[in-house]
Structures are given as C-alpha cells and as structure tokens.
Amino acid sequence: MKKMLLLISIVLCLNAGIFTQKLSECFIKNTSSNDRILLAKWMFVVLSQYPELKSLSNVTPKVVDSYNKKVAFLFKRLLTKDCKKEASLVLKYEPGGMSESFNILGKIAAGEIMLNKNVLNAVKGYTKYIDMEKIVKELTK
C-alpha cells in the first residue's frame, strides 16, 4: 500500500519542485493508515462547518477543536521530527511547497478513504438515476 501511495504522490507532484516532492514523499512514508484516516476525519469535520453542510452532520465545536488538536500534533510531528530535514529545505528554497506538500498528503488521505467498498458504492449511487446510453447518444450527435 505504501508503494502505491508513493507512486500516487509522485504523480501529484509532477509540477512541484524537487524539495516539495521530497517533502511530500517523506509525509507519505511517515504517515500510517491511521494518520491518513485522521486527516480524512479532520477534513470531514472541517467541511461539515460550511453553512450549507451543517445540517447534514451533528459535529460540535468541541469535536472540531478536538480534531484540530490531533491534526496539529500530527503536522508538528511530521515537520519537526519525521521530515525535519525535508521541511527545512522546502522552507528555504520553495516556501510555497509547504502547503503543496500538505495538500498532496490530504489528497492521498482522501483517496485512501475513496477506495473503501462502502464509499465507492455510495459514490456510484447517483448512476442509477442516469441513462448513460441516452447521454452518450446526445453527446455524439
């Protein structure tokens, strides 16, 4: 699984500088599946605060704060321990690469969640309301 995630991170980094690529790879190598699930949960919790989404969940401010603390701890560990060397090089030579590396880690975390059978089935659920044959005919006129 780690090798597949590294390959995906390399593809996502194609336009990134070399130091940003190395930092992104370090993030992937030094995060466990549980770390990436934590990131996905944090993304869910944070997105649930958008006004039009709030009614779809019962995430409280206390829960948001709890996940903010957990993610802060993870980011601090990655930047000051696991990937310190790579992070200092990005900060020195490619400052914009820091957010890009976290963005790539977030995409990897979300992608890992999307591979779950239940999630895949839910994502495909809308297709039962679409007549793809009709759409293809319309697009190929």
What are the domain boundaries of the chain?
2-139
* pLDDT computed for residue 16 by the predictor: 64
Residues 6+ apart with CB under 8 A from 37: 109, 112, 113
In the chain, what percentage of residues exceed pLDDT 90? 85
Instruction: Give the residue with greater pLDDT, 8 vs 113.
Output: 113
Which residue intervals of 48-131 are DSSP H helices?
Answer: 51-54, 61-77, 84-93, 97-114, 117-124
**Residue 65: Cβ within 10 Å count:** 11
Round to whole Å and give the CA distance between 104 and 50. 22
* pLDDT computed for residue 133 by the predictor: 93
The per-residue pLDDT for range 14-24, each reduced to its tens digit, is: 456 899 999 99
What is the C-alpha end-to-end distance of the chain, expressed in Å?
A: 43
What is the widest separation between alpha-carbon atoms in the chain? 58
* pLDDT computed for residue 117 by the predictor: 95
Q: Which helix (H) or strand (E) holds 83?
A: none
The per-residue pLDDT for range 103-132, each reduced to its tens digit, is: 999 999 999 999 999 999 999 999 999 999
The per-residue pLDDT for range 44-62, each reduced to its tens digit, is: 999 999 999 999 999 999 9
The one-letter amino acid code at 71 reads: V
Instruction: Give the residue with greater pLDDT, 81 vs 95.
Output: 81
CA angle 83/13/1 to nearest 5° reads 70
Estimate to the nearest angstrom the gap between the alpha carbon of 103 and the chain centroid: 6
